[in-house]
């Protein structure tokens, strides 16, 4: 394992310890951290694809989806993409407590994470071998936590009260900054507006000569009408316009 990958594994452990100390009140009833119960596939992802020195492009998501990274420990972790394209399939435990409407089944989960299917599908189409993609690219989520209400409804970080999100932001900003320092990307691309804002904020804390070019692509969520009208073509057009892909 390269020193890069060792550092990324260490940073995952640090942010886990910081976030474990936090409490979240109603309407949040359950909080999952896949870096804990899905640590094995997450570390396999870091060790296999975080190695090899600097990356030209860092893609940043917001936080795990219930059928993606929450199940596999890999950002935007659509099961088929992680298992069949990346070649990662490791044991996954259970969060405690587990929401009865959001069970964690790991790689046995039969539901599809649409955002992950779209994102990794674009990358796999352009780079049939994952090693080619990860030679110059890396994908990270800003925050590893998943928040849920009693109904099972997902709560995104931007919906948390200010007092609850402040320590999350402090921990996740440090986590993102370390990735920017370790991977030294030329381009840092937010998958959606929230991630782009995080990149802009954290990049400003770096020395000017170390700051990446920050941009964004349309979020691939099925909740986005624009994404449902051909996300892959729209995202690829945006990446060409930014100079990320030629």
Bridge partners (DSSP) of residue 148 are: 30, 154
**How far apart (Å, rounded) are the C-alpha atoms in residues 68 and 115?**
8
Residue 123: pLDDT above 90?
yes
Rounded-to-integer distance, Cα 72 and Cα 40, Å: 9
Any idea which residue has 């909740």 for tokens?
Answer: 223
pLDDT at 1 over 60: no
The torsion angles phi and psi of 207, rounded to 5 degrees, stand at -55, 145
Strand partners, 59: 139, 189
| Residue ranges with strand state E in 3-93 | 28-32, 57-61
Is pTM beyond 0.75 here?
A: yes
Q: Is the pLDDT of residue 143 over 60?
A: yes
Nearest alpha-carbon partner for 117 in 72, 68, 162, 61:
68
Gap between the Cα atoms of 88 and 159, Å rounded: 32
User: pLDDT tens across 146-158, in order?
Assistant: 999 999 999 988 8
User: Which tens digit of pLDDT belongs to each residue from 190-203?
Assistant: 999 999 999 999 99
Which pLDDT value is given to residue 3? 74
The pLDDT tens digits for 157-167 are 888 999 999 99
Q: How many other CB atoms are found less than 10 A from the CB of residue 126?
A: 14
End-to-end CA distance of the chain: 31
pLDDT at 2: 58
Task: Kindly report whether the peptide bond that precedes residue 18 is cis, defined as omega within 30 degrees of 0.
Answer: no
Q: What is the pLDDT of residue 53?
A: 85
Asked if residue 48 has pLDDT above 80, the reply is yes
Distance of CA 157 to the CA centre of its chain: 13
Residue with tokens 């000569």: 209
Handedness of CA 80, 58, 171, 149 (dihedral sign): negative
Indicate the length of the chain as a whole number: 246
Q: How far apart are CA 220 and CA 97, in angstroms?
A: 29
**Closest to 227 measured CA to CA, from 182, 191, 173:** 191
pLDDT tens for 93-122 read 999 999 999 999 999 999 999 999 999 999
Ordered by start, the domain boundaries in the chain are 3-241
- The residue-averaged pLDDT of 21-50 equals 96
CATH superfamily placement of domain 3-241: Uracil-DNA glycosylase-like domain (3.40.470.10)
Per-residue pLDDT tens digits for 49-85: 998 889 999 999 999 999 999 999 999 999 999 999 9
């Amino acid at each position: 394992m390269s020193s890069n990958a060792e550092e990324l594994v260490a940073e995952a452990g640090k942010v886990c310890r910081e976030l474990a100390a936090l409490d979240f009140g109603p309407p949040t009833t359950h909080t999952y951290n896949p870096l804990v119960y899905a640590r094995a596939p997450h570390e396999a992802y870091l060790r296999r694809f975080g190695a090899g020195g600097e990356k030209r492009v860092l893609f940043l998501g917001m936080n795990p989806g219930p059928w993606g990274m929450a199940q596999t420990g890999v950002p935007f972790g659509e099961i088929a993409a992680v298992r069949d394209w990346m070649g990662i399939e490791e044991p996954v435990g259970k969060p405690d407590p587990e929401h009865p409407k959001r069970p964690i089944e790991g790689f046995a989960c039969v539901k599809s994470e649409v955002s992950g299917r779209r994102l990794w599908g674009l990358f796999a189409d352009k780079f049939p071998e994952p090693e080619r993609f990860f030679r110059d690219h890396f994908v990270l989520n800003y925050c590893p936590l998943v928040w849920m209400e009693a109904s099972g409804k997902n709560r995104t970080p931007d919906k948390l009260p200010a007092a609850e999100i402040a320590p999350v932001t402090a921990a996740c900003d440090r986590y993102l900054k370390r990735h920017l320092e370790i991977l030294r990307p030329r381009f840092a691309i937010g998958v959606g507006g929230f991630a782009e804002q995080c990149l802009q904020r954290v990049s400003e804390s770096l020395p000017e000569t170390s700051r990446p070019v920050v941009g964004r692509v349309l979020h691939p969520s099925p909740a986005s009408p624009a994404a449902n009208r051909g996300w892959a073509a729209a995202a690829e057009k945006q990446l060409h316009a930014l100079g990320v892909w030629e």
